[in-house]
């Protein structure tokens, strides 16, 4: 009896110690079980709890509880598909592309509609702008575009090299939305709303033997552009290049990172906070727009192929052998969001709506650090309230809200968020 009591006491003390450790140790990157062994090639973090990952051998995984559990999404396909890319406009509408297949969803990835592949070419990347308007980057420099939800396509050869990454400007724009197509050695640029022609520029940074670019992005809300890859002149060295809005050339910003291998993925949820991942479990974060980098490398020896964040804190990194890493606090490093939102750090962060201008839907993102009563309302140019999107108490976390302005006239609108004394108003433009 005494021995049994002592054992119970030891277990109780151990559990208490574990609880204290969890309470006082900052949660960082947590490895999660995906129950698959295939390589995961891409991931999209949809909000603070939802994400979707794709990979080799037909793998489509979906979580609605921050990765605590992942659901395998079965498809009716009778062939093995190696998925390469996933792109979402919001929590419901998105696209995935594989070697010779394209699929779209309107319910967050539970059900998929499959499309014929434009030109029968291999598909590597995608850019989803709206349920009717999306792009696919293909082999041999082809870009295919649809304006009717994939029923018909227009295709254009814009480079001699494969299109590896498609991305778009995420800030306010006036004369057309800039979109970009990255190849291993060049960057092509065009504009839509109204549409323009593609212009290709050689990336001098990746001209060396064995050097290649793999993925590009622009900071959420507008700001610097980043491209990651590998430099192969002397060794396989991970590369990050950056182009600020005032720059005319791309500059390397991976100095001080001495690991070997390539960077495969990048996510830039703000102008200051940047995440990159790559071979050998490389995982880095910058809190100053790419000037310096903090390392999380060593959490896994597997190569990490993609990283995606919703807000500056909630994100996933995925890679070889079904490896999934998750963080809900930016990896445990203190994030100062006060400089961007104009309020006390870690209190409130309001992003610019995206896309902007828009037609007919746009998305709003905001992050709160504690339980708050949040109000998000839309006003017309005369200051009249025309829509209420949020008007309730919400726990800490990052949120995405969509506004469908189908029944509203074109013009300038304003959206205002208030939460416990905080109030911020930003402008948006609707163009039908």
For residue 414, what are its two tokens? 């304003």
| pLDDT > 90 fraction of the chain, expressed in percent and rounded | 58
CA dist list (Å): 144 to 17, 82, 169, 339, 345: 57, 19, 19, 39, 43
CA dist list (Å): 228 to 13, 169, 173, 247, 430: 47, 17, 25, 18, 34
Enter the DSSP assignment of 47. Answer: S
Q: How confident is the model at residue 421 (pLDDT cuts 50, 70, 90)?
A: low
Does the structure show a pLDDT above 70 at 3?
no
For residue 199, what are its two tokens? 């212009």
Q: How far apart are CA 211 and CA 233, in angstroms?
A: 7
**With the C-alpha atoms ordered 111, 116, 118, 123, is the resulting torsion angle positive or negative?**
positive
| Average pLDDT of the segment spanning 210-215 | 96
**234-257 confidence digits (pLDDT tens):** 778 999 999 998 999 999 998 778
Can you give the pLDDT at residue 389? 94
| Average pLDDT of the segment spanning 193-215 | 93
Does the structure show a pLDDT above 70 at 1?
no
Can you give the pLDDT at residue 333? 44
| 149 or 16, greater pLDDT | 149
Q: How far apart are CA 165 and CA 180, in angstroms?
A: 8
Q: How confident is the model at residue 268 (pLDDT cuts 50, 70, 90)?
A: very high
Can you give the pLDDT at residue 201? 97
| Average pLDDT of the segment spanning 189-205 | 93
Does the structure show a pLDDT above 70 at 15?
no
For residue 405, what are its two tokens? 């302005």
Q: How far apart are CA 161 and CA 270, in angstroms?
A: 30
Can you give the pLDDT at residue 366? 80
Does the structure show a pLDDT above 90 at 432?
no
- Please measure the distance between the N-terminal and C-terminal CA atoms of the chain and give it in whole angstroms: 78
Domains of the chain by start residue, with CATH: 30-332 (2.130.10.10), 338-430 (2.60.40.1930)
Can you give the pLDDT at residue 2? 41
Q: How confident is the model at residue 14 (pLDDT cuts 50, 70, 90)?
A: very low
Does the structure show a pLDDT above 80 at 212?
yes
Q: How far apart are CA 175 and CA 125, in angstroms?
A: 25
**With the C-alpha atoms ordered 214, 328, 284, 29, is the resulting torsion angle positive or negative?**
negative
**53-84 confidence digits (pLDDT tens):** 999 999 999 999 999 899 999 888 878 899 99
Can you give the pLDDT at residue 341? 31
Q: What is the dihedral of CA 43, 260, 287, 394, to 10 degrees?
A: 20
Does the structure show a pLDDT above 90 at 191?
yes
| 185 or 196, greater pLDDT | 185
Does the structure show a pLDDT above 60 at 270?
yes
**136-185 confidence digits (pLDDT tens):** 999 999 999 999 999 999 999 999 999 999 999 988 887 789 999 999 99
pTM of the model: 0.75
| 215 or 396, greater pLDDT | 215
Can you give the pLDDT at residue 235? 77
Residue 119 three-state SS: helix
């Amino acid at each position: 009896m005494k021995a049994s009591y002592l054992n119970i006491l030891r277990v109780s003390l151990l559990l208490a110690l574990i609880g204290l450790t969890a309470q006082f140790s900052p949660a960082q990157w947590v490895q999660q079980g995906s129950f698959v062994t295939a390589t995961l090639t891409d991931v999209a973090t949809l909000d603070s709890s939802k994400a979707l990952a794709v990979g080799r051998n037909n793998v489509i995984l979906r979580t609605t509880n921050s990765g605590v559990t992942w659901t395998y999404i079965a498809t009716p396909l009778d062939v093995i598909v190696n998925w390469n890319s996933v792109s979402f406009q919001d929590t419901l509408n998105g696209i995935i592309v594989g070697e010779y297949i394209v699929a779209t969803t309107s319910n967050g990835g539970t059900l998929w509609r499959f499309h014929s592949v434009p030109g029968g070419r291999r598909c590597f990347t995608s850019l989803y702008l709206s349920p009717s308007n999306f792009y696919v980057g293909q082999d041999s420099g082809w870009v295919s575009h649809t304006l009717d939800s994939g029923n018909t396509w227009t295709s254009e050869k814009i480079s001699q090299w494969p299109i590896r990454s498609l991305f778009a400007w995420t800030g306010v724009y006036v004369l057309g939305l800039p979109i970009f197509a990255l190849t291993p050695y060049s960057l092509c640029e065009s504009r839509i709303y109204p549409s323009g022609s593609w212009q290709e520029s050689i990336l001098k940074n990746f001209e060396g033997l064995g050097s290649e670019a793999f993925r590009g992005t622009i900071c959420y809300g507008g700001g610097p552009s980043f491209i990651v890859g590998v430099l192969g002149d002397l060794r396989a060295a991970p590369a990050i290049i950056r182009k600020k809005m005032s720059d005319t050339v791309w500059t390397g910003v991976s100095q001080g990172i001495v690991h070997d291998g390539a960077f495969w993925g990048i996510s830039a949820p703000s102008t200051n906070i940047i995440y990159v991942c790559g071979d050998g479990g490389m995982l880095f974060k910058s809190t100053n727009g790419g000037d310096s980098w903090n390392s999380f490398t060593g959490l896994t020896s597997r190569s990490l192929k993609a990283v995606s964040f919703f807000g500056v804190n909630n994100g996933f990194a995925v890679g070889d052998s079904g490896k999934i890493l998750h963080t809900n606090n930016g990896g445990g490093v203190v994030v100062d969001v006060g400089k961007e939102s104009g309020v006390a750090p870690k209190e409130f962060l309001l992003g610019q709506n995206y896309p902007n201008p828009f037609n007919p839907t746009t998305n709003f993102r905001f992050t709160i650090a504690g339980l708050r009563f949040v109000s998000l309302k839309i006003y017309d140019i005369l200051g009249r309230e025309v829509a209420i999107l949020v008007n309730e108490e919400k726990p800490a976390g990052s949120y995405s809200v969509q506004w469908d302005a189908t029944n509203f006239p074109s013009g300038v609108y304003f959206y205002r968020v208030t939460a416990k004394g905080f109030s911020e108003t930003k402008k948006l433009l609707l163009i039908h």
